[in-house]
Chain A
Amino acid sequence: MKILTAYKAGLVGTISRLRLVTIVYLFVFIPSLLVAMAYLSAYNKAIGLYLAPEKLMHGFDYTTYTELMRFEGDGISAIVKQAFWLVVFYVPVSLFVTGGILYLITGKYKPRLASFVNGGAKYFWRILKLKFYFSFVQLFFAFIIYLPFGISIAMADDGSLNEKMVFFKLLPYLIVHLLVVIYLFTIVNYAKIIIVSKDTRKVLRSIWEAVKFVTGKFAGAYSLTLLLMIVPLLLIYVYFKVFGFLSMDSGWVVFGMFVIQQLFLWLRAAMRIWFLAGLAEYYRMRR
């Protein structure tokens, strides 16, 4: 039942840190909005005084879309490339954000921007080192898991294999890999919690502690991870089911979708904090 206690504590902790949720949300929203505004400008410029793009408002016209991109899409493509580099930039920034969240959660600090930035900066290199090690661990496990599959495919007669057989041969490996990935994901998250809660620079030692913790309390630790993933997955499912395919065919609907999407993304930020807060609480209770 400790997992339920941790689960609830994570939720309560998140609700009591709505400012932190907003900081995390804004950390993504503001730079993304800047790129999106450039995108809007490029799109407006591309549309110019053309009449045809009206067809893109009410449904989707493949010809118009393709020709718009082909003849006037250079500016739009440039912005999309910028967006790609923004995503690349956010790979390390995401580690910074995780450090900031954990610092506020485990230290029970008030969710202020300054504290968040302090925490992010303080643990950035340690979490980066942790991710670096775990990238190799992930690759190693993927190699071990898929090696027998690769051998079985390579040894099979080309003519006797078909895509359905390959898929069903691959499926058990995918399932095993998914379970292993969740296990490793659980370990890496506890390792981060250990690094921040103990304020230690010994990353490898933290990993080892996390391995012992997760393996020693496997059922609880693994179940809690799965439990904490249910609501985010449900949220994503509900969003796409209800709003994902809503046709934006008027200015008001576009605005409405913008509001709904941002609410959804804000909730996703909250889920991330809930997740870490839940694990941190479980670690505090069971260590």
Chain B
Amino acid sequence: MKKNSLLLKGIFLLVSVVFFVVAARAEKLSPRYTNYKIKAKLNPETKIVNGEMWLTWKNPSTDTVATMQFHMYLNAFKNTESTFYKESGGQLRGMSKNDNDSLTWGYVDVLSMIDDSGVDLASEIKFIHPDDDNIYDQTVIEVPLNRPVLPGDSIHLHINFVSKLPEIFARSGYSGNYFLVAQWFPKPGVYEPAGMRYATKGQWNCHQYHGHSEFYANFSNYDVEITVPEGYVVGSTGALQNVKDNGDSTVTQIYFANDVVDFAWTTSPRFEVVEDMWNDVKIMVYLQPEHRQFAARYISSLKIALEYFSKHLGKYPYSTITVVDPPISGSGSGGMEYPTFITGGSVWGLPDEVRIIEMVTIHEFGHNYFMGILASNEFEEAFIDEGFNTYYEGRIMDAAYGDSTSFIGFRYFYFGDRAMQRLGYTGMKNPKIAEVYRYAWQFPHGGYSSLSYNKTATWLMTLEGLVGIETMDEIMKIFYDRWKFKHPCARDFIEIVNEVVTKNLGDKYGENMNWFFDEVLYGSDVCDYKLASIKNKRVRKPKGLFDTIVEKPDTSATGKKLYESKVILHRLGEVIMPVEVLVHFDNGDEVLEHWDGKERTKEFSYKRSEKIMWAQIDPSEKIKIDVNMLNNGMTLEPERNVARKYMVRFLFVLQSIIQTLFFFA
């Protein structure tokens, strides 16, 4: 045992030295509390990846840590009783799974877990359920350590594992000979020392795999050897270092990835790879042959995203970005994000005007900044990842493809990405269904994406409208610079908003912006301002007796008619936002009023020789979170030709359908 122990220590030392020498060449961007060397071999017939992993974990706290917790996320696909399966109902991303074929289910098993003193901890492993009482869920394990890890000290584990990939219906697995291998190896959770995020004492933060959330992990270095049959094309997180022909009809590809929170890869003999460069970043697109024509769209949208993020948030710190275009049968793995490695989505024949490829690519790339580099806790604060990223997706899409045509751009039917995001929230049957700030698995049915993605993007647009784009950019840049590679939380973002807004705008919006977050992040109420009425009343000449004490009012100083005009505004929602009101008079004059938005009813009155023709709350549409913009404006001369236009179209369509019936009658 002792001999074994010494041998193991020697191997660990050697592996660690080699690995760290190579890794140290790269600039250290993150704390790198975990480091991995993994050897993975795929058997495409059995859909099994046999893995051998050398793991180093460094205790970041002042605590002595006696146990470790690991994600075992492929077990989410083990049966219908996992928490993920129950939450998703076996249906996700338009695909479903409900069969009894053992080949199509997935799992991950730890065969051995040997620490640096040679003790196999595998027999001590137990499944835990930190998020629910589902005893059948096996997506998190806890391992009591033979030797507790002292503050600042490290532990080395040699783990043999086997990962059976599921047939793809959500995110990971296989479809025919296409493999998207994600969440595939035992991965330690994040040990949060007291003071980190919301931790009041040192603790493992290691959530189960959920229907809507799967990311929170340490920044790590990865050295991964992937062995596949000859002819299989491999794409992966990180950068390719070497390719070895093993002489047994298999090849091994070695990838390094530094300062990343996860590692995923793909392989298929059908991939066609298109490469390009953006500055020093190598772009690789892994395409299905039938989607070859979309290579330019993937590359172009990636370059747009790289350019925009680098300019508005921070330089992309990695040397590669890989996009995988899944086959239609594996579309459940599309639209996913992993560090430096994303999956897109396309369908043969998709017209250029439907910018799904661009939208998905830009969105998933953006996750590299939020899930990947900032690496907030997606389980607990999904909005920081999904919502912030959706906000940037909208900005980039609208800037690149036009704000009214960025998502659908046909000649006479078009709409923009940001408009779609806003309507994703405001169009909910019940936008008050929940507040944005809650754990990802605790949203009521249908609420997660509308609130985490769309409402967050909408309140960020509103914040942008209130503070201006320059201040917004400054907020986001400072947030990114201060918290990259550090796992920020909501509190950290709010502190920066308060700091920058106060610096740039003084007390324009009060002592701080906490009120804003109370409304949009922690509250579930809605914002709705309505222009209730416009009144123009002719001022008549006074009649009756007047004396020197009460003088006769002058109603026609200029000889023109005089009107007492009013604009009456209502606040229908509970959310209070400062708004502007534009009042337009019949001679073309316009007055811009400012209202703090607090009262339930507000009047603006004028005595002028012109009548009010129309008025508009929030004319610049800054308050995107207003759930009904239709009632923001009123006019005394509505455009009746709109109704005629749509009536003419309606009549034509109706007659055409009936006449077509005649033809086939």
Across the interface, B328 reaches (CB within 8 A) one of A91, A163, A258, namely A163
| B651 pairs with A32, CB closer than 8 A | yes
A28 touches B655 (CB 8 A): yes
Please report the C-alpha to C-alpha distance between residue A163 and residue B647 in the assembled complex, in whole angstroms.
38
Task: Give Cα A127 to B662, complex, Å.
Answer: 13
Selected interface stretch from A2-10, A109-117, A152-160:
A152-160
- Report A88 CB to chain B, min CB distance, Å: 10
- How far apart sit A24 and B659, CA to CA, in the bound complex (Å)? 9
Tell me the minimal C-beta distance from B425 to chain A in angstroms: 12
Contact with B along A230-273 (1 / 0, CB 8 A): 00100000000000010110110010011001000100110010
- B616 adjacent to A51 (CB under 8 Å): yes
A63 within 8 A of B: yes
Q: A36-B651, A94-B662 are in contact. Are A165 and B290 (CB under 8 A)?
A: yes
Q: Among the listed stretches A52-60, A210-218, A219-227, A278-286, which one makes contact with chain B, having 4 or more residues with CB under 8 Å of it? A: A52-60
Given contacts A62-B419, A131-B665, A245-B412, contact A51 B633 (CB under 8 A): yes
Which of chain B's residues have a CB closer than 8 A to the CB of A15?
Answer: none
Q: Which B residues are CB-close (under 8 A) to A35?
A: 654
Cβ-defined contact, B630 with A39, below 8 A: no
Q: Does A49 contact B (CB under 8 A)?
A: yes
Select from chain B the residue with minimum beta-carbon distance to A92.
Answer: B665
Supposing A32-B651, A160-B176, A162-B290 touch, asked if A66 and B423 sit within 8 A by C-beta, the answer is yes
> Which residues on the A side are within 8 Å of B411 (C-beta)?
245
Q: Are A47 and B643 in contact (CB under 8 A)?
A: yes
Q: B648 contacts A72, CB within 8 Å? A: no
Query: Please, how many angstroms separate the alpha-carbon atoms of A53 and B644 in the complex?
Result: 12
Interface window among B10-18, B22-30, B357-365, B634-642: B634-642
Are A32 and B654 in contact, CB atoms less than 8 angstroms apart?
yes
Cβ–Cβ < 8 Å partners of B546 in chain A: none
Q: Name A143-186 residues within 8 Å CB distance of B.
A: 157-165, 167, 185
- Chain B: interface size category: 35 or more
| Cα-based distance from A72 to B645 in the complex (angstroms) | 18
- The chain A residue sitting closest to B328, CB to CB, is A163
Q: Is A61 an interface position by the 8 A CB rule?
A: yes
Given contacts A94-B662, A254-B644, contact A167 B348 (CB under 8 A): yes
A51 near B348 with CB under 8 A, answer: no
Which residue of chain A lies nearest to B615 when distances are taken between CB atoms in the complex?
A51
Report the separation of the CA atoms of residues A185 and B641 in the bound assembly, to the nearest whole angstrom.
42
A247 and chain B: residue at smallest CB distance: B412
> Counting CB contacts under 8 A, is B484 at the interface?
no
In this assembly, does A87 line the interface, its C-beta being within 8 Å of a C-beta of chain B? Answer: yes
Task: Indicate if A74 sits at the interface (CB-CB under 8 A).
Answer: no
B661 touches A158 (CB 8 A): no
With beta carbons under 8 angstroms apart, the residue of A24, A39, A245, A247 that contacts B647 is: A39
User: Whole-angstrom distance between the alpha carbons of A265 and B662 in the complex?
Assistant: 12
Instruction: Check if B422 is an interface residue, CB within 8 A of chain A.
Output: yes
Query: Quick check: is A95 within 8 A (CB to CB) of the other chain?
Result: yes
Whether B290 pairs with A44 at a CB distance below 8 angstroms is no
Measured between beta carbons, the chain A residues less than 8 angstroms from B412 are 60, 245, 247
On whether the beta carbons of B658 and A159 are closer than 8 Å, the reply is no
Give which listed residue, A39, A48, A269, contacts B659 with CB less than 8 A. A269
Q: Which positions 610-662 of chain B face chain A at CB distance < 8 Å?
A: 614-616, 628-636, 638-652, 654-659, 661-662
* Cβ contact within 8 Å between B665 and A62: no
Q: Are B639 and A32 in contact, with the CB atoms below 8 A? A: no
List, in ascending order, chain B residues with CB within 8 A of A247's CB.
412
Contact status A94-B651, CB under 8 Å = no
Rounded to whole angstroms, the CA-CA distance of A185 and B654 in the bound complex is: 24
A98 to B635 alpha-carbon distance, docked (Å) = 49
In the complex where A39-B650, A66-B423, A254-B648 touch, is A159 in contact with B415 (Cβ < 8 A)? Answer: no
- Is there a chain B Cβ closer than 8 Å to A22's Cβ? no
Q: Within the assembled complex, what's the spacing in Å between the Cα atoms of A86 and B655?
A: 10
- CB pair B652–A265 under 8 Å, yes or no, is yes
Residues B665 and A57 in contact, CB atoms below 8 Å apart: no
CB <8 Å contact, A49 and B636: yes
A62's partner among B404, B614, B656 (CB-CB below 8 A) is B404
Q: Which residues of the other chain, A, contact B447 by a CB distance below 8 angstroms?
A: none
The answer on a CB contact under 8 Å between A24 and B662 is yes
The CA of A56 and the CA of B412, in the complex, are separated in Å by: 11
Query: Is B327 interfacial (CB 8 A cutoff)?
Result: yes
CA distance A52 to B414 in the complex (A): 17
Contacts A43-B646, A50-B634, A251-B641: A70 and B427 contacting too (C-beta < 8 A)?
A: yes
Chain B residue contacts of A232, Cβ below 8 A: 663
Q: Which residues of A contact B534 (CB under 8 A)?
A: 49
Question: Are B665 and A95 in touch, CB under 8 angstroms?
Answer: yes
Instruction: Give CA–CA (A268, B404) in the complex, Å.
Output: 36
Q: Which of A28, A33, A158 has the most CB of B within 10 A?
A: A28
| CB of B587 to closest CB in A, whole Å | 18
Query: Which residues in B have their C-beta under 8 angstroms from that of A48?
Result: 638
User: Which chain A residues border B657 with CB–CB below 8 Å?
Assistant: 87
Would you call B347 an interface residue if the criterion is a C-beta within 8 Å of the partner chain's C-beta atoms?
yes
Query: Assuming A87-B658, A261-B651, what are 18 further A-B pairs, CB within 8 angstroms?
Result: A32-B658, A43-B642, A49-B634, A52-B633, A56-B645, A57-B641, A62-B414, A62-B416, A62-B420, A67-B629, A87-B661, A90-B661, A91-B661, A163-B348, A167-B348, A185-B664, A254-B645, A268-B659
8 contacts between A and B (CB under 8 A): A50-B635, A51-B616, A51-B634, A56-B645, A64-B630, A66-B427, A87-B657, A261-B651
Nearest 6 A-B pairs (CB), nearest first? A159-B176, A51-B633, A62-B415, A94-B665, A43-B643, A164-B290
